[in-house]
């Protein structure tokens, strides 16, 4: 598979300028990362997690998880302070993700002060590391004798993986290898403990993550053992006898989470929950916890790419197809139930009960980015963009101060409050979570967004995502520069200015929603090439100053679900470009579920620079089923009701829940 040079762009090489994602990037830099640092250090006293709506779900747990205590755990493990471990068993990963995000931030914009903070933190991490290289504050403080005895539940390898990602990122950002060396020692220790050899444990992580991290470690250090270990974890998963059954017996059925969950709670669907129901290569559908699935598949694509494992790659592509054809919400959310935050079955996509965890859609970006590193296929980028611009962005408020863990497609605040089945569907973003995986995961994805924009294959540049940026890209044979200028996703016009002479190809994506209507020109002359697999390939001798103008279809569009999605039958959604739209009560009044969008209603795009940090609204006329009088009968002949014409205002889904508690819906009845 190494016949082609394929790589994503490097963060240092791409500068995202203004526009929606430029604004979000700046927000993460200026607001979110400093705020998260305060959280990790228990300084953000006002960020009390929201417990007003009691939470039944697994991930949010019932952990009154404030303060974070994350840095404190490291200090205690290091012997710097006295105290007890506090937090989730995977609390360390919050710091790791923050370090990784900050490293990417430093790549884009050097920041000596921030670097100093990171260096001091790495010193702390070094002190928390045990003599033999072991690093995990929970086990070091609470259960030093029980290392590697409960991989199924205890996230030891997961935390290690996250810290490895941070180590590689910081090394790449600064050249400093202290954390990298720390994590090499940990990786070596894991390698000594896990593998096919008889004297080693034949296990794998309960929550995938270390697989893709080990690949990064391999790429940073060229240490073959790390790639081999990643491959081992992928290969071993789901083989019989099941390792997690064996370790469960060995520890006398002890459960780490028994304090939180009854025995029939967390692992309700057994091995599927953590994807060990089958060896990976035999899996045809994503099953179980959606985040785990994305991380597993990301690591598997990496291993397949580097080892030339076509069978494994085909498995990943089949899993991808199953997901996008049968198990993904219109918004790029995944996970149809709060119970174990998991996939359920094909076409089971309830809009009210959806989990749609922010982390899962971030994970979907990891996965699709890696698929793009194996073949240029517009569909992967379409999915990446669907996740990014809808669910991922919705995961954070416009001011960067509050976050969604769950991203519903239908919310009624009264029902969320009074019906415990819907308690996970918060109508307003809380400031933090007891289980705080999502906010720092968003941060590391946003700060590394540059990597997602371009893929380079030999001397071809693939434009996967459109946003204004300046890029300096290393092709196989040359370095080139180019500028992209656009207001996308608020308009369809994209200008690409070539800054380097030479023979190479610019391949721009025609998103599936624009495939029937788009136009391109180079220096005023029409592009005649047709898209193949979603990309139009312009192979030219480029001159500095050449300009490509691309215009995508920005007519607002109706979209329907496949009729097998029973919950969306008779309903319509509205999209414009890559953005899925929604109705909010603030704009449309109460009773959103009584609104009908007539088939013939014209959808009108209205630029609103003044609203919600700048959006396009979609205006149209709809019908609303009138309410009956207060004490009317519950069941009636239809003669009793009527419709009233209403002005409808749609806003982009990502911008919902920024104006207080209110109803929201993505799918609307069609008439």
- Interface with its own copies in residues 282-311 (CB under 8 A): none
511 Cβ contact list (under 8 Å, min separation 6)? 378, 381, 382, 385, 534, 552, 577, 578
Q: In angstroms, give the least distance from the CB of 448 to its own copies.
A: 28
393 Cβ contact list (under 8 Å, min separation 6)? 20, 24, 654
Q: Do 592 and 582 form a contact (C-beta atoms < 8 A)?
A: no
In the complex with its own copies, which residue's Cβ is closer, 3 or 259? 259
Determine which residue in the list 125, 213, 328, 425 makes contact with its own copies, applying CB under 8 A: 328
Measured distance between the N- and C-terminal CA atoms of the chain, rounded to whole angstroms: 51
Q: Is 659 in the site for its own copies (CB under 8 A)?
A: no
Which of these segments, 28-36, 122-130, 323-331, 491-499, binds its own copies (CB under 8 A)? 323-331
CA–CA separation, 359 and 350 (whole Å): 19
Touching its own copies, residues 569-608 (CB under 8 A): 569-570, 572-573, 591, 593-594, 596
Q: Is 52 in the site for its own copies (CB under 8 A)?
A: no
Q: Do 583 and 592 form a contact (C-beta atoms < 8 A)?
A: yes
Determine which residue in the list 557, 608, 611, 621 makes contact with its own copies, applying CB under 8 A: 557
Which of these segments, 36-44, 197-205, 256-264, 518-526, binds its own copies (CB under 8 A)? 256-264
Q: Is 124 in the site for its own copies (CB under 8 A)?
A: no
DSSP 363-392: HHHHHHHHHHTT---HHHHHHHHHIIIIII
410 Cβ contact list (under 8 Å, min separation 6)? 351, 352, 593, 664, 665, 666, 667
The HSE-up count of residue 18 (CA atoms within 13 Å, CB side) is 6
Q: In angstroms, give the least distance from the CB of 441 to its own copies.
A: 24
CA–CA separation, 74 and 83 (whole Å): 11
Query: If DSSP codes are grouped into helix, strand and coil, which group holds residue 469?
Result: strand
Q: In angstroms, give the least distance from the CB of 436 to its own copies.
A: 19
Binding mask 389-428 for its own copies (x = CB under 8 A): -----------------------x-xx-xxxxx-------
Q: In angstroms, give the least distance from the CB of 2 to its own copies.
A: 31
Give the count of residues interacting with its own copies (CB under 8 A). Answer: 71
| φ and ψ of 600, to 5 deg | -90, 0
Which of these segments, 358-366, 482-490, 558-566, 613-621, binds its own copies (CB under 8 A)? 558-566
Q: Do 545 and 498 form a contact (C-beta atoms < 8 A)?
A: yes
Q: Is 261 in the site for its own copies (CB under 8 A)?
A: yes
Q: Do 108 and 10 form a contact (C-beta atoms < 8 A)?
A: no
E runs forming strands in 180-324: 288-289
In the complex with its own copies, which residue's Cβ is closer, 523 or 642? 642
Question: Which of 437, 438, 507, 582 is flagged as catalytic?
Answer: 437
Q: In angstroms, give the least distance from the CB of 251 to its own copies.
A: 21
Q: Do 29 and 105 form a contact (C-beta atoms < 8 A)?
A: yes
Q: Is 533 in the site for its own copies (CB under 8 A)?
A: no
**Parallel, antiparallel, or unpaired for β 668-670 and 595-597?**
parallel
Binding mask 604-643 for its own copies (x = CB under 8 A): ---------------------xxxx--xxxxxxxx--x--
Q: In angstroms, give the least distance from the CB of 34 to its own copies.
A: 33
Q: In angstroms, give the least distance from the CB of 425 to its own copies.
A: 12
Which of these segments, 91-99, 142-150, 240-248, 551-559, binds its own copies (CB under 8 A)? 551-559
**Any alpha helices (H) in 194-287, and if so which ranges?**
210-221, 224-236, 243-250
Q: In angstroms, give the least distance from the CB of 635 to its own copies.
A: 5
Q: Is 317 in the site for its own copies (CB under 8 A)?
A: no
Q: In angstroms, give the least distance from the CB of 438 to its own copies.
A: 21
Q: In angstroms, give the least distance from the CB of 599 to its own copies.
A: 9
Question: Which of 165, 211, 247, 341 is flagged as catalytic?
Answer: 341
Which of these segments, 42-50, 113-121, 157-165, 563-571, binds its own copies (CB under 8 A)? 563-571
Determine which residue in the list 64, 113, 145, 264 makes contact with its own copies, applying CB under 8 A: 264
Determine which residue in the list 175, 241, 262, 524 makes contact with its own copies, applying CB under 8 A: 262
In the complex with its own copies, which residue's Cβ is closer, 523 or 566? 566
Determine which residue in the list 7, 141, 260, 278 makes contact with its own copies, applying CB under 8 A: 260
Binding mask 329-348 for its own copies (x = CB under 8 A): -x-----xxxxx---xx--x
DSSP state letter for 527: P
Touching its own copies, residues 345-364 (CB under 8 A): 345, 348, 350, 352-353
Q: Is 2 in the site for its own copies (CB under 8 A)?
A: no
Q: In angstroms, give the least distance from the CB of 386 to its own copies.
A: 9
Which of these segments, 66-74, 243-251, 255-263, 535-543, binds its own copies (CB under 8 A)? 255-263
Run of H or E residues at 596: strand 595-597
**Parallel, antiparallel, or unpaired for β 454-457 and 460-463?**
antiparallel
| φ and ψ of 481, to 5 deg | -125, 150
In the complex with its own copies, which residue's Cβ is closer, 285 or 307? 285
Touching its own copies, residues 471-530 (CB under 8 A): 512
Determine which residue in the list 176, 491, 560, 611 makes contact with its own copies, applying CB under 8 A: 560
CA–CA separation, 267 and 289 (whole Å): 10
Touching its own copies, residues 151-190 (CB under 8 A): none
Q: Is 140 in the site for its own copies (CB under 8 A)?
A: no
CA–CA separation, 77 and 135 (whole Å): 9
Active site residue 70: no
CA–CA separation, 163 and 137 (whole Å): 12
Chain centroid to CA 435: 16
- Reference 522, options 492, 546, 558, 487; nearest CA is 546
Which of these segments, 209-217, 426-434, 467-475, 556-564, binds its own copies (CB under 8 A)? 556-564
Place of tokens 């309410």: 627
Two structure tokens written together for 61: 């747990």
Distances (CA, A) of 278 to 87, 157, 248, 328, 335: 32, 20, 18, 22, 20
Handedness of CA 262, 265, 268, 272 (dihedral sign): negative
In the complex with its own copies, which residue's Cβ is closer, 2 or 634? 634
CA–CA separation, 285 and 219 (whole Å): 29
Q: Which residues are catalytic?
A: 341, 437
């Amino acid at each position: 598979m190494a016949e082609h040079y394929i790589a994503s762009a490097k963060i240092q090489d791409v500068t995202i300028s203004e526009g929606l994602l430029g604004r979000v990037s700046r927000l993460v830099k200026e607001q979110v990362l400093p705020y998260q640092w305060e959280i990790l250090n228990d300084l953000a006293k006002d960020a009390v997690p929201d417990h007003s709506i009691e939470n039944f779900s697994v991930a949010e747990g019932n952990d009154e998880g404030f303060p974070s205590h994350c840095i404190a755990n490291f200090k205690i493990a290091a012997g710097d302070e006295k105290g007890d471990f506090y937090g989730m068993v995977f609390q360390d990963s919050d710091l790791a993700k923050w370090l990784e995000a900050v490293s990417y931030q430093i790549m884009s914009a050097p920041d000596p002060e921030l670097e100093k903070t990171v260096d001091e933190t790495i010193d702390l991490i070094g002190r928390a590391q045990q003599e033999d290289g072991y690093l995990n504050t929970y086990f070091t403080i609470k259960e030093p004798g029980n290392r590697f005895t409960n991989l199924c539940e205890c996230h030891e390898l997961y935390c290690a993986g996250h810290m490895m990602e941070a180590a590689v990122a910081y090394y790449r950002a600064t050249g400093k290898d202290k954390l990298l060396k720390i994590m090499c020692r940990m990786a070596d220790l894991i390698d000594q403990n896990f593998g096919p050899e008889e004297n080693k444990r034949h296990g794998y992580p309960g929550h995938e993550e270390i697989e893709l991290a080990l690949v990064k470690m391999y790429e940073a250090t060229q240490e073959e053992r790390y790639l081999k270990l990643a491959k081992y974890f992928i290969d071993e998963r789901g083989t019989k006898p099941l390792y997690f059954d064996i370790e469960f017996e060995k520890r006398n059925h002890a459960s780490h989470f028994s304090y939180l969950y009854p025995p029939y709670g967390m692992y309700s669907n057994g091995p599927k929950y953590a994807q060990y129901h089958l060896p990976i290569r035999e899996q045809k559908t994503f099953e179980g916890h959606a985040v785990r699935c994305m991380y597993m598949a990301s690591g598997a694509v990496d291993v397949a790419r580097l080892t030339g494992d076509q069978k494994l790659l085909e498995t990943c592509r089949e899993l991808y197809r199953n997901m996008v054809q049968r198990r993904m919400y219109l918004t790029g959310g995944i996970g149809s139930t709060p119970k174990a935050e998991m996939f359920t079955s094909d076409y089971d996509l309830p809009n009210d009960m959806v989990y749609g965890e922010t982390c899962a859609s971030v994970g979907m970006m990891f996965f699709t980015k890696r698929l793009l590193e194996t073949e240029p296929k517009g569909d992967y980028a379409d999915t990446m963009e669907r996740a990014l611009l809808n669910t991922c962005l919705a995961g954070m408020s416009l001011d960067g101060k509050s976050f969604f863990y769950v991203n519903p497609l239908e919310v009624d605040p009264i029902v969320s409050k009074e019906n415990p089945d819907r308690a996970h569907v918060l109508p307003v973003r809380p400031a933090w979570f007891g289980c705080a995986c999502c906010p720092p995961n968003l941060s590391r994805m946003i700060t590394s967004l540059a990597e997602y924009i371009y893929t380079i294959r030999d001397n071809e540049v693939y434009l996967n995502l459109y946003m204004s940026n300046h890029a300096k890209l290393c092709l196989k044979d040359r370095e080139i520069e180019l500028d992209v200028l656009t207001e996308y996703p608020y308009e369809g016009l994209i200008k690409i200015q070539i800054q380097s002479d030479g023979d190479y190809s610019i391949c721009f994506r025609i998103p599936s929603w624009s495939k029937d209507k788009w136009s391109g020109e180079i220096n005023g002359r029409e592009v005649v090439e047709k898209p193949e697999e979603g990309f139009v390939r312009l192979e030219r001798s480029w001159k500095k100053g050449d300009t490509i103008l691309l215009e995508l279809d920005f007519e607002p569009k109706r979209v329907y679900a496949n009729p097998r999605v029973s919950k969306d039958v008779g309903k319509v959604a509205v999209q414009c470009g890559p953005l899925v739209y929604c109705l909010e009560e603030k704009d449309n009044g109460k009773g959103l579920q009584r609104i009908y969008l007539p088939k013939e209603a014209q959808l009108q795009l209205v630029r609103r620079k003044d609203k919600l940090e700048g959006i396009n609204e979609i205006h149209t006329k709809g019908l609303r089923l009138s309410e009956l009088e207060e004490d009317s009968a519950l069941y009636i002949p239809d003669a009793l009701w009527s419709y009233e014409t209403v002005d409808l205002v749609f806003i982009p889904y990502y911008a919902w829940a920024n104006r207080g508690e209110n109803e929201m819906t993505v799918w609307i009845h069609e008439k």
